[in-house]
Amino acid sequence: MAHVDPRDRGDLPEFEDYFSYLDDHAGYVPNAFLTMARLPGLFQGYMSFSKALGELQGVSVEMKVLMSHIASSAYGCRFCEAHTAHTGVMRGVADERIEKVWEFESSDLFDQSERAALRLARDMGQVPNRVTQQHFDDLREWFTDDQIVEMVAAVSLFGFWNRWNDTMATDLEVPIVKVADALLAGRGWSPGKHRVMETAADPNRYTLPNPGGYTDAQWRQRQAYWDDHRPTITKPDGTVIHPDGTIIAPD
């Protein structure tokens, strides 16, 4: 359960344009954003930094998402591990590359340049940090210094969110858990300290838009899988909805 409650979206009209953008492109507004928005100036500063980082195009979005994902996993932030998996799906990253990212050193799913980048991200996520000169020597076989700076910036942004969400025990959103259950449960992922909050009008089904790269039939199949593997949901009033539809009212 979150240690600090997020603000109600209706109390943040100055950010409604951005929240509407998130509705259209992600299908939800992250609880972490609503919590940070308790200090509007802080959230505005985050938005500016995130926008500047998002405008950089020296490194592929797929590479930056996979790097942020493995760094979050290495740090142990289950919240960000799940969120970056969801982002990967929405950005068209192959499911198998997300599922097997920890096998990057030996898997044919990753080439040598990606191995160098993922090695950096993995060791950035360790505590204490395990990055050495060798990481940069390996990276420079494939990437310019500007690209390396972009990579480090992308992973470092999630380094902030790793500490924020792991400390706050931010509540997870239903669509995020559905993706994480489908892709990450096989390697031991679970919500852990993060309560799963209802964010969809119908808590028993959450439909994600097809991010591209899937036929309509393939995407319906994935939706059906997520629907069959939906999590236990705790509503804000304490009501618990189990996967079989059983509802338990708060004491």
* pLDDT score for 198: 57
What structural domains and CATH numbers belong to the chain?
A: 1-195 (1.20.1290.10)
**What are the residue ranges in the chain where pLDDT is below 50?**
199-207, 211, 230-231, 233, 243-245
pLDDT in tens, 81-129: 999 999 998 888 998 999 999 999 999 999 999 999 999 999 999 999 9
User: The whole model's pTM is what?
Assistant: 0.80
Would you mind telling me the total number of residues written for the chain in this entry? 251
SS3 246: coil
* Pair 87, 183: CB distance under 8 Å: no
Q: What is the pLDDT of residue 221?
A: 54
Alpha helices in the chain (DSSP H): 16-25, 31-36, 40-54, 61-75, 78-90, 95-99, 112-124, 133-139, 145-168, 174-184, 216-228
Q: What is the pLDDT of residues 197-221, one digit of tens each?
A: 654 434 344 445 554 555 555 555 5
Return phi, psi of residue 209, to 5°: -70, 145
| 3-state SS, residue 221 | helix
